[in-house]
Amino acid sequence: MSLRAAPPKAPSPTPSSPVALPPRVARAYAALTGLIGIAVFLASAEIVALFVGAPSSPLFAVGSAAIDFAPHGVKQIMVDLFSTGDKAALFVLMGVILVVICALAGIVEWKKSPWGRAIFLLGAALAAAAVLTRSGNGVIAVAPTVVGLVVTLLVFRRLIVRLLRWEASTAGVEFPTAFVPPMQTPVIERRAFLRFAIVAGAASAVLGTGARLINATAVNAVALRAALKLPKAAVAEKAVPAGASLDVEGITPYVVSNADFYRIDTALTVPQIDPAKWTLKITGMVENPVEISFDELMKLPLVEHMATLSCVSNDVGGNLIGNALWLGYPIRDLLARAKPTAGADMVLSRSQDGFSAGTPLDVLQDEGTQALLAVGMNGVPLPLEHGFPVRMVVPGLFGYVSATKWVVSMEVTRFDKAEGYWTPRGWSERGPVKLESRIDTPSNGYSVPAGVVPVAGVAWEPHTGVSKVELKIDKDDWVEATLADSVSADTWRQWVYRWDAPKGSHTIQVRATSATGKVQPSTYRPPAPNGAEGWDQITVTVT
């Protein structure tokens, strides 16, 4: 018998002790970690959405995208099985799928990092895509999803590392990666994992539910817009003549789709307005202050009017211009109710987000100018970014002095007493749109094969109209392009010149003549303070 005592053995936990971690149990904990991961994601995203706007919530976006994109068959089965509860059933089904995938992500990360995190990354990318497909959501709307993903990846990875350490400690081995603090006993490692899991899970549940409830009750204009049906126009616009659209590749379409329509505003996030709570007040120098609700507006005889809207910042050759079919009520008729008093010469319209525009009163009252308080754009309710639920559109005036989106009030006043948002910022008090023309095709700097090359584009002077478009190719004389038709003088016109292009490098300039005989001036002027002037020009190489 040896006198030397055997070194005391580290007490290895028996399988029944609470710190033991058989692989089956570890796997269950890994799955749980994936569930905590999705809870952290949803909670942090909902919290960020409190600031960015309810429609930016990935939960909302994925839910409503699922309703839009669920294949018809699935929808029908849902309706058949659950009658009116079809949406709830769809969401339960999605929830179950989500739980399974996230639990798997936990197990995958536990077994083969970083593939569990990759699953979260992929899921977040899909959620971001769903957010971006919601009309009204701009790029900033992905912020909740992105922040949610970053927070989730950090918390989720940390949880998995804690679990792996606990596992390693029970096996009496070192956790393979350098991780501070150094490995502790299984009891301490187990506690560290559980404590972190409980805190992350509970905080997500409490804060996420709270933020979700606030977001769910916040005005969600995306959902309200989707539920809105526009009335039929009492006065329809003339049909677009077949000759308004030239068959030329690369030319801007006569009517620009809402998705392609340029957007300019000072709003960081798109205002969320509930039509049921919207009113427009007409105040100031009027005999009869007027207040009209959205419901009242929709019951009025609405007028369809096609008009080209343009931004004063549009440089020569620029694309801050578009043509659309607007549906709305003539502002002139609302002003007639309010009865402006003598001496008033301006209407200062204000938006919910603090923008304002000063529009000449006589333009708004003019019988021949279809200035609209618009609710529709190209047959659908105004997209959120184009002013949902109500905006102004005034043919012939730049947007900054007339086209107030999310409009909530009109104050009848005087130019010497009030000014619109851009006036003190270096832009003119008045902003009639200038006569301009643009070459859409060929693109500047491109090569084209010799032969007949269609040179084409658009020309405009909304409310006056364009009567002629000419091209100057190199030093040759001006040649006249063919003008397409238009619905009225309030819209731009397409034009084309079929050019027999000889080989070599060529410069092409364009100029328009208005319906009143004015020729577009050649001297370049920049957009500030009241709109660019000058001829658009391209250089092409014919090979």
Ligand X SMILES: Nc1nc2c(c(=O)[nH]1)N[C@H]1C(S)=C(S)[C@@H](COP(=O)(O)O)O[C@H]1N2
Binding site for ligand X (CB under 6 A): 261-267, 309, 311, 351, 353, 355, 386, 399-400, 403-406
The answer to whether the CB of 147 falls within 8 A of the CB of 57 is no
Of 149, 164, 46, 62, nearest in space to 112 by CA:
164
Shortest CB 421 distance to ligand X, Å: 7
Whole-number Å distance between alpha carbons of 290 and 288: 6
**CB-based contacts of 94: which residues, under 8 Å, 6+ apart?**
62, 63, 66
Shortest CB 461 distance to Mo ion, Å: 17
Of 163 and 371, nearer to Mo ion (C-beta) is 371
Of 59 and 256, nearer to ligand X (C-beta) is 256
Shortest CB 386 distance to ligand X, Å: 4
Q: Are strands 482-483 and 447-448 parallel, antiparallel or unpaired?
A: unpaired
Shortest CB 433 distance to Mo ion, Å: 11
Binding segment toward Mo ion, per CB under 5 A, in 259-267, 272-280, 479-487, 493-501: 259-267
The answer to whether the CB of 24 falls within 8 A of the CB of 110 is no
Whole-number Å distance between alpha carbons of 296 and 354: 24
Shortest CB 401 distance to Mo ion, Å: 9
Of 207 and 264, nearer to ligand X (C-beta) is 264
Of 278 and 400, nearer to ligand X (C-beta) is 400
Q: Would you count residue 267 as binding Mo ion (CB under 5 A)?
A: no
Q: Would you count residue 311 as binding Mo ion (CB under 5 A)?
A: yes
With CB under 5 to 8 Å by kind, the binding choice for 156 among ligand X, Mo ion, none is none
Place of tokens 């790029």: 139
> What number of chain residues touch Mo ion (CB under 5 A)?
4
Q: Would you count residue 528 as binding Mo ion (CB under 5 A)?
A: no
Shortest CB 266 distance to ligand X, Å: 4
SS3 content of the chain, % helix, strand, coil (to 5): 40, 20, 40
Of 351 and 464, nearer to ligand X (C-beta) is 351
Shortest CB 251 distance to ligand X, Å: 20
Q: Would you count residue 532 as binding Mo ion (CB under 5 A)?
A: no
Binding segment toward Mo ion, per CB under 5 A, in 56-64, 105-113, 199-207, 258-266: 258-266
Of 223, 225, 218, nearest in space to 61 by CA:
223
Whole-number Å distance between alpha carbons of 88 and 285: 52
Of 212 and 386, nearer to ligand X (C-beta) is 386
Q: Would you count residue 264 as binding Mo ion (CB under 5 A)?
A: yes
Q: Would you count residue 399 as binding Mo ion (CB under 5 A)?
A: yes
Report the half-sphere exposure of 424 (CA within 13 A, side-chain side): 8
Measure Cα distances from 483 to 273, 480, 529, 538 in Å. Answer: 41, 9, 30, 19
Of 57 and 351, nearer to ligand X (C-beta) is 351
With CB under 5 to 8 Å by kind, the binding choice for 263 among ligand X, Mo ion, none is ligand X
Of 156, 105, 79, 94, nearest in space to 130 by CA:
94
Of 394, 372, 407, 421, nearest in space to 280 by CA:
407
With CB under 5 to 8 Å by kind, the binding choice for 406 among Mo ion, ligand X, none is ligand X
Q: In what order do the strands lie in the sheet with 482-483?
A: 436-441, 451-460, 493-501, 482-483
- Find the residue with minimal CB distance to Mo ion: 311
Shortest CB 396 distance to ligand X, Å: 13
* First-residue to last-residue Cα distance in the chain: 103
Q: Is the peptide bond before 181 cis (omega within 30 degrees of 0)?
A: yes
Of 168 and 267, nearer to ligand X (C-beta) is 267
Of 201 and 399, nearer to Mo ion (C-beta) is 399
Shortest CB 113 distance to ligand X, Å: 46
Shortest CB 398 distance to Mo ion, Å: 6
Tokens of residue 74, six digits: 């699935």
Binding segment toward Mo ion, per CB under 5 A, in 71-79, 194-202, 310-318, 411-419: 310-318
Whole-number Å distance between alpha carbons of 307 and 325: 7
Give the binding site for Mo ion (CB under 5 A): 264, 311, 399-400
